[in-house]
Structures are given as C-alpha cells and as structure tokens.
Amino acid sequence: MRAPSEQDVAAGEVLLSVENVSLAFGGVKAISGVSLDIRRGEIRAIIGPNGAGKTSMLNIINGFYQPQHGRIAFKGRERSRMRPYDAAHGGIARTFQNVALFKGMTALDNIMVGRTLKMRRGMLWQLLRVGPAVREEVEHRRQVEEIIDFLKIQSIRKVPVGKLPYGLQKRVELGRALAMEPDLLLLDEPMAGMNLEEKEDMSRFILDVNEHYGTTVALIEHDIGVVMDLSDRVMVLDHGVKIADGTPDEVQSNQAVIDAYLGVAH
Amino acid sequence: MAVDSARADTFPKLLVRNARLYAGRPAYRHKDLGVWQVWTWEQVLQETRALSVGLGELGLKRGDKVAVVGSNRPRLYWAMCAAQALGAVPVPIYADSVAEEMAYILDHAEVTVAVVEDQEQVDKVLSVSSRLPRLSYLIYDEPRGLRDYDHTKLKWIDEVQRIGRGLLAEPQGLEHWEASVAAGKGADLAIMLYTSGTTGRPKGVMLTFDNLIVSAENGNLFDRLGPDEEVIAYLPLAWVGDHLFSYAQPFTAGFCVNCPESPDTVAEDRREIGTTYAFAPPRNYENLLTLTMVRMEDAGAFKRGMFKYFIELARLWGEKILNREPVPLHARLLYWLGELLVYAPLKNRLGVARIRLAYTAGEAIGPEIFRFWRSLGVNLKQLYGQTEASVYVTAQPDGEIYADTVGKPNIGVEVKIDDSGEVLFKSPGVFVGYYKDPEKTTETKTIDGFVRTGDAGFIDPKTGHLKIIDRAKDVGRLNDGSLFAPKYIENKLKFYPNIREAVAYGNKRDCVCVMLNIDLTAVGNWAERNNVVYGSYQELAGHSQVYDMLARHVEEVNRSLAEEPAMAGAQIRRFLILHKELDADDGEVTRTQKVRRSFVAERYAPLVDALYNGASEADISTEVTFEDGRKGMLSARVKIRDVNTVPVPTALEKAA
C-alpha cells in the first residue's frame, strides 16, 4: 500500500486525488483510510471481491457519499461538500451497475438528456422552439449523432430503450455519459451481465473513448481478465482496505491480491 | 448522347461525362450522423479525381490490383473508379471474410494497395500482411481507433485525397490525370470479382469495361432505366450484382446510389429514400414477408381482420391489375380501397412505396412469396445471371411474369441447352477468363464462345422462358432410377416460413432424406404464441412439437412432389432438424448463403448415416467458429423422424 508519490505525480497530471478517506455506515466500515489518484488520460480500475467497497469508492468520487475522514481534490481544487449535481457540472459523468435509463424514451432522447447540462436556453425557450433554441438543439443533436455513430447504435436510434437487450442498454447509458463531454468518466461494472462478445465490444468502446475523446476513465469491474487488458493502473480493495495499487502486471503478481481473490486459510 | 456513350467506354470516362451531363444531380447519398449527405456527379468527379491522383502518387500504376473491402460506402465505390482511372484493377472482397480467406485473395490477385472501411478490416489485413510482400499501402475510410497505429504503410483516405488535391492544383496536374483516363480502353480489364464458389478456392472472374458497360446499357434499355431512378446499395461489394446495380448501371444511366447508415439500418434507410429500382435475393423478400406476418399476428383483432380480408382480395385481383388484365369494376374499387387502407401503408412500411421495378435472383423464390409481392402492386420480376455473364443471362419482360421461370434471354444474349440439360449462354458480357487459371477457363468456355453455367434447365414450351431445376452436377438418381434434383426439393421445403434451410440427400441411395434448419423468427414467434418454452436455438430445434409441425410441412411437400411425374419418385422418407444454424463462418454455406451440400454431408456424417440406417436419434459434435475467429465445440443429440409418402408406381413398374 502506498500513497501517490512524487514520482507518480510526475508521470502525469493528477486529475483527481483521494487522500486517506474513510466511510462508515453506522458501525459498518465501508472504506478505511484509502488513498487513490487518477491521472489525466488514463484508464484506472478499481477491483476487489464482493463487498470490498468498490461502489462506495465510486460514490465518494461522484459526491454521492460524504466520507467521514479524508480529503478529495478534483482538478487540483479540494472540496469539502459536493453533491452529484456539482460533480456533473464539474465534469464527472457516470454509468450505473443496474442501468439507469428512462425506459420509455428512445435511445436518442436518452442520450440527448446527457446534453441538458450544456443547454444554455431555458425551458421556456425550448418549449417555444424558436430561433436560438432550435439552433442550439440542432447543434446538440449533431454532437449526439456523433456519439451514436461512435457507439454504432444507429439502428436503435428511435427504439425505446426498455425494448433493447441489456448489452445495448449499457451502450446507450455510456452514450448518455459521453454526451456530457466529461473530463472523468466513472463506469460502475460496465461488463456486468454481458456475454463474451458484448464484453469485447464494450472493452473496445472504452478504449476508443479513452483514445478518441481523451477521456479519463475510472471503472469498477468484477471480471479481472477484462480489467487487466484494459487498464493502465489497477487498485485492489478488500474489505474497504487498499491491498494493492499499480500496473496490471504488478497487481497480478501481488500475493495479497491472490489471497484476497482465491481465499487463504486464516 | 449516343456519340457520348460510344466514346465513354470506361467508368472514369463515364464519370467525366456524367459530371458534365448531370452536373447538379445527386450521384451518391450516404446517411451519416443521422442525415443524408449528398454528392452530385460533379462532386463525385472531384472526390474521385483527388483520390485517384493521390493513389498515383503512392505508386499505383497501370495493371496493379487494388483490393476494396468494406460495406457500401460512397468512398469505396469511388476508390474503384479512382483505381480504374489509373488503369489499375479493383478487386472487391467480401467484408465478412475471415482473415484467411482475405489473405488468399490478396495474395492470388497480387494486390499492391488495399482500400478498406475501418479498423476491423485494417486489423484483418495487418494480421496476414507478413505473408503479403506485394502489399505496399493500406488505406482506410473510417479513422476511428487507428490513430496510434504505425502509419508507415497505413494512410487515411482523406490524407490520400489531400495529396491528390495538392498535385491537381499544380500546373499540368489535371491534364496528366485526364491523359491517364483517356488512355483507358473498353477492352481493358475493369474488375476482378472472386466468386465464392460452392466448391474449392474462389476464382477471380475477369471482366472488361466493355463487358460491364454493354451489359449495363442493355439492362437499362430492357427495363427503361434512366437518371431518375433511386437504388439502395446494401449487397456485398464483391458480388457481381452489386457491382452492376450500384456501379455499372448508375454510371451508365446516371441515377443515384444511396448508401445506408449501417448494415443494420437498411430497411429504415430504404423507407426514407423510397427506392424505385431494387434488387435482392429471394431471402430478403421472404424475410420481409415473414416479418410482416409475424407482426400482424400481434396486431389487434380489427387490424388483423382488415389485413386478412384485403390481402385475400389482393391475392385474387392484385396480379391481374398489375398485369393490366381485364378486371371487374367492383374488384377494382375494392382493390383501390385496399390500397388506401392496407397496401399503401404496408408498402410504405416495407420501403417499396415508390418501387417501379424489383428483381429477385440467385435462387428460386417461393411462388407464394412471389405472388404476395406482386399482388400488392410491386413489379417483382425474376432474373437469371452469373458473374461470368456480367449478371444478365435471362430476365422476365414486363407483362410476362411467372413464378417458376427466370425469363427470356436479355438483349444481346443467346441461350442454348446442351444434351445433358446444362444451360449455356453467349453475350457481350461474357468474361475474359479466370485469373491465373486457364484450365478452369477452358472448362467453362466452349470453343464457339458459349459459357457453361453449370445449371440444369429447360426452355418452357408454353412461355418460351427458361426454367432452372438445379446445378447440373447435383442432379442425380436414386438407386431405383428416379430422378433426384436436391435443390428442387430443398426449395419446396424452404418456401415454408418455418424452414430456413434444407439439405437433401438421395443421389445413389435408396431414398431421399433431408436435414432442416428452423427459422428462429417464425418458429420463435410460434413458440411464444403456443406457450412453448425454450432456452436456446438448440432446444427449440429439438422440441417435439416443432418436429410435429415440420413433419406436416414435409408431408405436404411429398404430396406436391407426387403430382409431378418426373419428381414423384424422389419423395422424402426421413428428416431431422439440425441443432445449429448453417453458417458461412463454418464453411457450411457460401457467403451468398448457398448450402455446400457435400461439405455439410462430410461435417455431419454421423447424422447422414443415422438418416439411412434407421436410427431414431444420433449424437453429433462439431467445431464452430465464432465471429472473431475463435473456435469451440458444440455437441447435441438429434432426433430423426419418419414421414409418410404418397404411393406412386416405381420406375420399374412404370416400365412394365
């Protein structure tokens, strides 16, 4: 276990740093004293067995949970309290483990929702649908179309997402997060419940997002194989404690990680 | 105009002509970012010219071969013309070929430059590039995901065009290119199309500009096609049909080619464009019909009733109205009402609202399917063609439409049947030969200039139209001497929506047995309506109620075979339903979805044995190839059913 050293910081600009945070629900400690840094432009993974505190960690970064201890700095600015709304404004987008889309709306409309934050004209303008509001919407639509093209979901543009198979719903959710043009994209188990082919597609898209848009990605995943292929650096949590942090190779050969995953006789 | 086209004897020359003749008219459309982007003929000339000059700068020269791999995108079509302008020969390759198949063609055709669609194709070519020392440049259309690749041999198509535009701006740049176009002749090699072939390695069919341009012009004349047509390009670039309908004909007639947004959006895109001229294998017409029927099953009772009533009405009068036969007034009025309430909305839904002419070819089409489309007022016709003929051999003229013929010889085509029943033809479209395979060429082309089609058929004395029964080499006999035409039987089976594929065996055997593939859409929907629970394709295929249903279909086929004296001896005795779909990736069907019967027999040998040894079930374990090229094993126990046949006198009794 180690905190981000000077060397790490030198390797790339730190976009988000979490120092020594702890989170407890009543008496249950979800996270204890974990430090983590995410560098601009990297794909950072947080892995760990069930109940290791992965999603809690994501919720802390996202501002959904307030840690009892520790400090968080995003883009160099330390923050005391942050709500998810502020996080979104600040450039953090996320997807959810159990797909949180508007089921009755089309894929296109769901992704357009992601542009809401970027719309300057208010609701009245948009209801009137005149001049500037229409021009603005056309511009947003163009950007959304680029995302649709990017994710290869042209054929489901006008399909209500509730009718789509799970793998495609996940893709639409990724599209909505991308529509926010985030600096940091948080993915909560992007491959959960997918078959092998869907997993490969999703990996491809995550790599492409990272390369094409230069988006920094932090992801939580169960499937270790996928993570190791995808990530630049991996942090391993177990029972709310960081047990390893480093490149996929370093992590894979770490005895503590092997023990945590395979179990050891206590 | 006549003088013009006489001079324009290559596609680049035709492009220059069209840019002058149809300057501001749309030539290509491509749906991108949800919007149809349009290029006029003039713009296409500019784009193609820039690409062509850029390719020249990369070292492409007369006689070189250029592979083109990808889906139907405007720039891939322009790449073909750009290469032709330099005297190079485009070689389109099926986009869904696996790397091995691609490597064979790239090597055999001695390709020096490959123009491909995207990262997927780049990866495939790169994976085999070490075996292709001649390949000097790989050019891609879609840059996504390719930024970090080594760009010494890799170039983005925009980059090549930029080089070209730079050179064109220099003095003499344009003249230099125009001189290169002018140097092309009609007798030059225009394209090499590798036929997927039901047996052995693909063969490179060499076609000249004269072959394609004269055939296209004759086709335009036969069907009166002009610059106002709209077609949608969605069939594989490497298939001669697409090359003629989406390249040669638009270039000669000056009409517009529409490229869909993605292969999955063709139906939607077709509806938006409202194509006037269409071409599709029977399978497409069948799928659309199946889909319509399945959707109607889920509609409300009123709509379903209305649909049933008017479809029945159309069945009675629709074809007669289309053929301009006399029809009583009340039928006309009802049909008009049907048009308003059912046919027009349905045709709009299916994307054929503006269709003037639709062709089906490649396989026999089910008479029911054929009539359904025609009864709606869609002028669906049959065509018989081959790569070796630059498509056209025969086609049905307007007003002479039959469900079971393939029509009369096209303009300039001569057809004859030899003693063994094989169909031969002679036409301006007859190919030069197979690339680097003079032996096969002489086998196929006779001394007097005719080409052996390999198909068995006859001229129907009633109509004067050609009828095709089967591949000549596949027509065999049962041990009792009865004629056995497997395709004929398979087609009868495949006309049932529940049966997607059928493979018949019987040559030099005691009886006919078949292996069937269920159609997942149709049978799946049936299962849903009848509360049949299944977890996978394999489970549904093995379900006893599915077997019952298909057994009824097979018995109906037997009854229909019994009605035809020549075929009555070849009724089906036993059948089984395969546990997996026959797939091109496993080599079981060709890329154009034709079953490779003998390969399937070898692969499923235990099943074929079981069909003939009386067993009631058999175990089978086969290797399957996934889309990404990995392999896995699939095992199953397959049941076999006996079916009733209609008694007919055997050949011996008849003789006695």
- Same domain for A223 and A193, yes or no, is yes
Closest residue, chain B, to A157 (C-alpha)? B34
**Quick check: B628 and A204 CB within 8 A?**
no
Look at residue A257 and tell me if it is in a domain. Answer: yes
Please indicate, yes or no, if residue A37 is contained in any of the structural domains.
yes
Count chain A–chain B contacts defined by CB atoms under 8 A.
Answer: 37
Residue-wise pLDDT for B158-215, tens only, equals 999 999 999 999 999 999 999 999 999 999 999 999 987 656 789 999 999 999 999 9
Question: Considering chain A, what is the average pLDDT of its residues?
Answer: 85
Taking the mean position of all CA atoms in its chain, how far away is CA B10? Answer: 25
Listed residues A180, A201, A223: the one ending a domain: A180
Question: Is residue A98 one of the residues assigned to a domain?
Answer: no
- Identify all chain A residues contacting B34, using CB atoms and an 8 Å cutoff: 141, 145, 148, 154, 157
A43 and A3 part of one domain = yes
Residues of B in contact with A212 (CB under 8 A): 144-145, 147
- How do residues A135-190 score in pLDDT, each as one tens digit? 888 889 999 999 999 999 999 999 999 999 888 999 999 999 999 999 999 999 89
Q: How far is A144 from chain B (nearest CA, A)?
A: 9
* Nearest residue in B to A139, CA atom: B33
Residue A21 lies in a domain: yes
Question: What pLDDT digit, counting tens, does each position of B339-368 carry?
Answer: 999 999 999 989 999 999 999 988 888 788
- Measured in angstroms, the CA of B624 and the nearest CA of chain A are apart by 15
In-domain check, residue A97: no
Q: Are A113 and A239 part of one and the same domain?
A: no
Sorted by where each starts, the structural domains of chain B and their CATH numbers stand as: 2-184 (3.40.50.12780), 280-471 (2.30.38.10), 475-655 (3.30.300.30)
Residue B34 and residue A141: Cβ atoms within 8 Å?
A: yes
For chain A, the domain total comes to 2
Q: How far apart are CA B466 and CA B456, in angstroms?
A: 10
ipTM > 0.90, yes or no: no
Q: Do A208 and B147 lie within an 8 Å CB cutoff?
A: no
User: Phi-psi region for residue B88, left (φ > 0), alpha (ψ -120 to 50) or beta?
Assistant: beta
- pLDDT, tens digit, 9 for 90 and up, residues B518-536: 998 889 989 988 999 888 8
At residue B565, the pLDDT reads 67
Beta partners for residue B505, in sequence order: B513
CATH of the domain at A214: 3.40.50.300
- Alpha-carbon distance A120 to nearest alpha carbon in chain B (angstroms): 23
Residues A78-104 have a mean pLDDT of 83
Degrees, nearest 5: CA angle A5-A10-A11: 100
Q: Report the gap between the CA of A152 and the closest CA in chain B (Å).
A: 8
Question: What is A162-214 written as a DSSP string?
Answer: GGS-HHHHHHHHHHHHHHT--SEEEEESTTTT--HHHHHHHHHHHHHHHHHT-
Which residues of chain A have a CB within 8 Å of the CB of B264? 154-155
* Residue A116 shares a structural domain with residue A221: no
Please give the pLDDT value at position B4: 47
For residue B385, what are the β-bridge partners?
B392
- The answer to whether position A258 is within a domain reads yes
B324 interface with A at CB cutoff 8 Å: no
List the single range of A182-186, B557-561, B632-636 with lowest mean pLDDT: B632-636
Average pLDDT, rounded, for chain B: 90
Last residue within a domain, chosen from A180, A199, A233: A180
Contact B262 A155 (CB under 8 A): yes
Contact assessment for residue B235 and residue B194, using Cβ atoms and an 8 Å cutoff? no
Using an 8 Å CB-CB cutoff, list chain A residues near B628.
197, 200
C-alpha separations of B538 from A197, B535, B543, B585, B635 in Å: 19, 8, 9, 18, 10
Same domain, A80 and A142: no
Chain B residues near residue A197 by CB distance under 8 angstroms = 626-628
Q: State whether residue B262 sits within 8 Å of chain A by CB.
A: yes
Residue B471 forms beta bridges with which residues? B455
Contacts of B144 in chain A (CB under 8 A): 150, 208, 212
Which residue among B32, B148, B628 sits closest to A211, beta carbon to beta carbon?
A: B148
**CB–CB contact A142 B265 (8 Å):** no
Residues A186 and A253 in one domain: yes
The reply to whether A77 and A189 lie within a common domain is yes
Q: Which residues of A56-66 are buried (b: 16+ CB within 10 A; e: fewer)?
A: bbbbbbbbebe
Q: Which pLDDT belongs to residue A266?
A: 53
Decide if A154 and B262 are in contact by the 8 Å CB cutoff.
yes
**Which of A65, A68, A57, A64 has its CA nearest to residue A18?**
A57
Region B368-391 average pLDDT: 92
Mean pLDDT (whole number) for A239-261: 86
Q: Look at A212 and B627 and tell me if their CB atoms are within 8 Å.
A: no
Q: Which residue of A has its CA nearest to B269?
A: A155
Mutate to test the interface with B, among A111, A146, A153, A155 (most CBs of B within 10 A): A155
- Greater confidence (A236 vs B495) lies with A236
CB contact under 8 A, A155 and B264: yes
- Closest alpha carbon within chain A to B628: A197
Residues facing B93 on adjacent strands: B69
Mean pLDDT of B607-620: 91
Which among A180, A214, A249 is the end of a domain? Answer: A180
> CA distances (Å), B581 to each of A75, B499, B515, B519, B589, in order?
54, 11, 11, 9, 10
Question: Which residue did the predictor score with more confidence, B542 or B651?
Answer: B542
Helix spans in B69-172 (H): 74-85, 99-108, 119-128, 157-169
Residue of B nearest to A146 (CA): B33
Query: From the list B33, B148, B268, which residue is nearest A145 (CB)?
Result: B33
Q: In this model, does residue B466 exceed pLDDT 80?
A: yes
- A242 is in which domain, residue-wise? 1-91+182-266
Closest to B374 (Cα-Cα) out of B399, B410, B345 = B399
Which of B389, B470, B468, B399 has its CA nearest to residue B430? Answer: B389
Residue A72 sits in the same domain as residue A189:
yes
For B34, name the nearest residue in chain A, comparing CA atoms only: A145
| A45 and A164 within one domain | no
Same domain, A196 and A244: yes
Ramachandran sector of residue B193 (left: φ over 0; alpha: ψ -120 to 50; beta: rest): beta
Residues of B with Cβ-Cβ distance to A211 under 8 angstroms: 145, 147-148
Adjacent-strand bridge partners of A184 = A92, A216
Find out whether A145 and A154 touch, Cβ atoms under 8 Å.
Answer: no
| Interface residues of chain A, partner chain B, Cβ below 8 Å | 141-142, 145-146, 148-150, 152, 154-155, 157, 197, 200, 204, 207-208, 211-212
Better-predicted residue by pLDDT, B78 or B596: B78
> Is residue A223 in a domain?
yes
Question: CB B34 to CB A148 under 8 A?
Answer: yes
Which of residues B60 and A30 earns the better pLDDT score?
B60
pLDDT of residue B42: 96
Residue B89 clears pLDDT 90, i.e. is over it: yes
Contact check, Cβ <8 Å, B34/A155 = no
Question: Predicted confidence band at B92 (pLDDT cuts at 50, 70, 90)?
Answer: very high
DSSP B7: H
Residue from B118, B119, B144 whose CB has the most chain A CBs within 10 Å, to mutate: B144
> Which residues, including other chains, have CB under 8 Å from residue A102's CB and lie 6 or more apart?
A109, A110, A113, A161
Same domain, A6 and A35: yes
In this structure, is residue A96 part of a structural domain?
no
Q: Are residues A84 and A1 in the same domain?
A: yes
For B367-401, letters b (16+ CB in 10 Å) and e give eebbbbbbbbbbbbbbbbbbbbbbbbbbbbeeeeb
Within 8 A of A149 by CB-CB distance, chain B residues are 32-33
Q: Write down the pLDDT at residue A2.
A: 40
Cα→Cα distances B88→A193, A200, B83, B181, B394, Å: 50, 38, 5, 11, 31
Tens-place pLDDT, residues B59-73: 999 999 999 999 999
CB atoms within 10 A of CB A86: 13
